[in-house]
Structures are given as C-alpha cells and as structure tokens.
A and B are shown apart, each in its own frame.
Chain A
C-alpha cells in the first residue's frame, strides 16, 4: 500500500508538471505568434514608447528574448514561473493590476460553496433515481428513468442554464415575490443572478444547475452497480434471514455501490469545473469560473493559465484521492 501511494503521487506530480509546461508552452506560442500582450496595457491600439513598453514587459516577465523566436519552449521563463508559483506569487491582472493570489483567495470559497450544492444535488438525485430504477428493473419506471437520464444527458448544463436565466427565472421570481415578498427566502432563491447580500440563498439554484452535469452518467452507474449487488449472494442471504427490505437496500446494496459513486464523482469533477465556468459567468457569481470566463473575454492570458493550473491541480489531486478511497471502501481491492 505504501509503495503504491508513493508511486501514484509521483505519477500525479509528473502529470501535473507536464500540464503546467503545456500551458506555459501554449502561452509562449501565443505571444510568439500573436505579438506581445504587454501592448494591451496601453489600450491595444496605440504604439507606446519603446522604453515604456520594455518597462511593462519587464513588469510582466515578458522581456526574455525567447518570446521572439517562434516555437521556442521558453524554458527559463518556465522555471521562473514555477518558482514564483511556489512562493505564492501568481502575478497581477493586466486590467486593474490586482494580485491574482489575493483574487483567488476571494474566488475559491465561492466556487466551493457552489460545489457543495452541486455535489449534493448530483449524489442525492442520482442515488434516488438509480436505486428506484434498479428496484423496478425492466418495468415502466425503469424505462422512464432511463429516458429521463438520456434527456438530462442531451440537455446539458449550459442549455439548462441559458433557458433558466433567460426564460424561466424572471417570471418565477416575480411570481414568488408576489406571494412571499421580496425579502423572503422564496423571493430570492429563483433570482437569475447572484446577490452578495444573500450569499447562500442565491447560490442554491446555480448549484443545482451545475449538479445536473453528469446526472445521467451517475444514475446509470448506480443502477448498474445496484443491479449487480441485488443479484448477489449476500443479498439473498439477507433476504433469507428475513431482514426488512429497507435495511437490505441501505446496508447491503447502497453501501456496496459506493465504489462507482466515488469513481463517478472523481471523473465528473473536471466537467463540473467547466460547467462552473459558464454558470458563474452567466449568473455573475464571483468565483473561479467567472474569473476564467472574464479572462477569456478580456484576453488575459495569465489569468486563464492560472485558472486552468488551479483546476488541473484540483483534478489531479481528486483523482489520487479517489484511487486511494477505493481500497478504503472495498476490502476486496488491495494495492500491492
């Protein structure tokens, strides 16, 4: 086990290193092909004084000669960048000159709150639907759940988000406020945008929307796992002992179906992050996702790279944890 953990961690570090290098190389290529982003500092259109440009280039670490040779991997700036990351210096934004590390400190908690609701939605809904479908296998309910999951698969988070924000939210909010009043829970929960005055209430609906990412995959995984367990020997024994059906479902079936659920969440984490980019961007939640969304639109390469690096670190970390949890949840799995 110990040897496996070390090997898995080293592998994760290698992957992470390659991802970071790839991100850096893409940025270097973009500077080499498209020209210097430091000109953006002066508003893009004007041609600034050469000395001033050199000053700004130095400020953003773009003064290395390698940025003028197309295809050069720019290893020296890459090493510098890694060094800066380790010391906690993530650079500043081109627009407003704010410290990126400080911004992350504000944004990450908001995204985490979003993910709490998203994960809750995902787990609860897919558990209920999957268990339900498995228990009524082959019957009408099973087919209905199956059709619903295909529909959920084909109407992805992004379309649900747009239809909600631009079609449903406003009439719904107006209706709810007419009955319960503006300041009540119901009056705020359906808002089409985030409101910092109600930081928890107005994040519920976006959380639910992000949670629909992968609902279909999870439901299917859970249905399959439960069918396997329902037909197994230990469930038959439990039935023969005369245990109540509820107890069999919870203790013998659901607990043994935890493995696919963990795998699923680990696998879906990356997709939930990209769902969060759009959801936070459109609904105005000040989180990591909106940071990337706005950085893309304002062409702030550094912010995009930092955002993607953070997401890569999280994804790699989550996948390591998932692998280690396997052994904890299922005594049959042993890493030598």
Chain B
C-alpha cells in the first residue's frame, strides 16, 4: 500500500502580485519622494508635538498678524494669524482632523463598496438589480454636491470638543456619496472571476457562498480597488477643503486645512498671502503625493503593463 506524502513546502518565496508591485514601485524615484511626503504628513498628524512646541489655542492679541520675517526660526516660524495664534502650530495641529477624516471616509466607503460589489456580482439577479440601481442613483449626484446637500439639510451648530465630533458630520456625508466607485470596480472584478475554474472547483467541493466570496473572489477583486485608493484619498482631502470654504465642513473653532484655507482667503487680498499660501501649498503637496503614488500603484498592479 502506497502512502501519499504531502508535498513539503519549498523554502523559496513565491512571487506574488503584491511583492512584484512593491519591487517595481521601490525603484521609482517619484514614488520614493511621494512616500517621504506622505510619511511627513502622517507624522504631523500623529505627533504634532515633534514639529512645534506652541499651543495653537494660546493666542496673544498683541502679536497678531506678524509676517514670517524670520524664516523658520524665532518665536513664530511662519508668523501669526489674525488673532495672534502661532501659525505654524495651527497648521500642524490642523493636519490631524484632515488626515483622520480622509482615512475614515476611505476605509468605510471602501468596505461598503467592496461588500455591496461582491454581493451584487456574485448573486446577480434581483440583488444585483437593486444595488446597480442604487449605484445609478448615487452616481447622478457627485460627491461634492451630495455632501453639500446632506450637510446643509442637517446642519446644526454644535460646539465640537473632541476629534470625533469635529469630523463626524463631514465624514458621514462624504462616505454616503463616496462608495460608488469601489462598488463598481468590485462588481466588475467579481463578475469576471466568479466563473473561473478555481472558484467553480471550490463550489464543487461544497464551499459556502460566504467562503467563496471572501476567500476566493475577494483577493482578486481587491486589486483594482487598491489601485484607486490613494487617488481617492487625495480627492477626499480636496472635497473636505471645498466644504470648509462653503462653510459647511469642519466647523471652526476646530481647524483643518480646509478651515485654514477658507480663513486665509479673507486675508490673502490684504497682503497676508502666507496665511493662504501655506495651507494651499501643504494641501497641493499632499494631494500630489497621493496622486503620484496612486498612479504608480495602478501601473504596478496591472500585469498587462509589465
């Protein structure tokens, strides 16, 4: 009687799509620069104390509107704003709400889109009908308009004390109108891979629907979704800023880059351009870094382009 021996796993690591992508991206100088910028921004959000020792809420009226004549040195490296608060501290402390908001929106909407997309693609029929119709409906209203609608209809002047209350309303509004693209990509990928041999094999072996969806189809479907995540984060940061300029995003006295921008516009014309230019530059730099990273990621994850 012959005995079946299990094949011993080889020590050699297999080249997966992800490790290939990582290796491709590591070689590109633009990706490295973008990653450094993003790391800087994330550090600012996580540890604002590393960049400034001032408290953005202690404002001295006597020192209001000091131009940043002593560049990057002295008491106020970036000058002070209209109320005498240290501008560098305000800018650094405004990073956390911006980044937290963008990340929470992206996580919730990507999860929502993934789950809905997989269900629509896998089950087809009336499940797909309902979800696809929902997609059509939400796509008609672009993210900014939808968020404007929600925030203007349900606006209440609440004084927000902590981070959660500050960003809750804009996060909710942006998520509600941000999940469609993820859902569409996932649905398409699911439709493509649900009739592949290995999925059919899993089905023949009696795997449950849920196991097939999340163990076999999801790893394929997640690739196109990942490729659009960085670019979408950039888009969310910008939309938040646009909402703040409209006066319905994050509410002052809480700060975010958008709030700083909208305050800065009032002073830019009067000769205090730095109050506007700094948040603008930081915003553009971050979004550009996200876009560059996303563009490279999209290429690296597309096997056809190799």
Contacts and interface: CB of A to CB of B under 8 A. Distances in A.
- Bound together: yes
Contacts of B295: 150
A133 interface: no
Contacts of A18: 133, 137
A270 B247 contact: no
B150 A26 contact: yes
Interface string A309-320: 001100110000
A151 B151 CA distance: 29
Contacts of B145: 270, 273-274, 277, 292, 308, 311
B190 to A, nearest CB: 22
A187 B156 CA distance: 44
Given A154-B234, A297-B246, A273 B288 contact: no
Nearest to B258: A158
Looking at B149, B246, B276, the one whose CB has the most chain A CB atoms below 10 A away is B149
A52 B152 CA distance: 26
A155 B288 contact: yes
Given A159-B283, A301-B153, A311-B145, A154 B133 contact: no
Contacts of B151: 296
A315 B140 contact: yes
Contacts of A308: 141, 145, 149
Interface stretch (A73-81, A116-124, A161-169, A177-185): A161-169
Contact of B238 (A22, A159, A166, A304): A159
B28 to A, nearest CB: 12
Nearest to A315: B140
A27 interface: yes
Describe B's contact surface by its main secondary structure.
helix
A271 B238 contact: no
A19 B234 CA distance: 27
Interface in B114-154: 133, 136-137, 139-145, 148-154
A167 B273 CA distance: 7
Interface in A13-68: 14-16, 18-19, 22-23, 26-27, 29-30, 33-34
B132 to A, nearest CB: 10
B82 interface: no
B156 A162 contact: no
A299 interface: yes
B292 A150 contact: yes
A263 to B, nearest CB: 14
Interface residues of A, number: 49
A162 B149 contact: no
Interface of B: 133, 136-137, 139-145, 148-156, 231, 234-235, 238, 241-242, 245-248, 261, 265, 268-269, 273, 276-277, 280, 283-284, 287-288, 290-292, 295
21 contacts: A22-B137, A23-B149, A26-B149, A29-B154, A34-B153, A150-B288, A153-B231, A154-B287, A155-B287, A155-B288, A158-B241, A159-B283, A167-B268, A270-B141, A270-B145, A277-B145, A297-B248, A299-B155, A301-B152, A311-B145, A316-B140
Nearest 6 A/B pairs, CB to CB:
A30-B153, A154-B291, A166-B268, A154-B288, A274-B144, A154-B287
Interface of A: 11, 14-16, 18-19, 22-23, 26-27, 29-30, 33-34, 150-151, 153-156, 158-159, 162-163, 166-167, 170, 270-271, 273-274, 277-278, 281-282, 292-293, 295-297, 299, 301, 304-305, 308, 311-312, 315-316
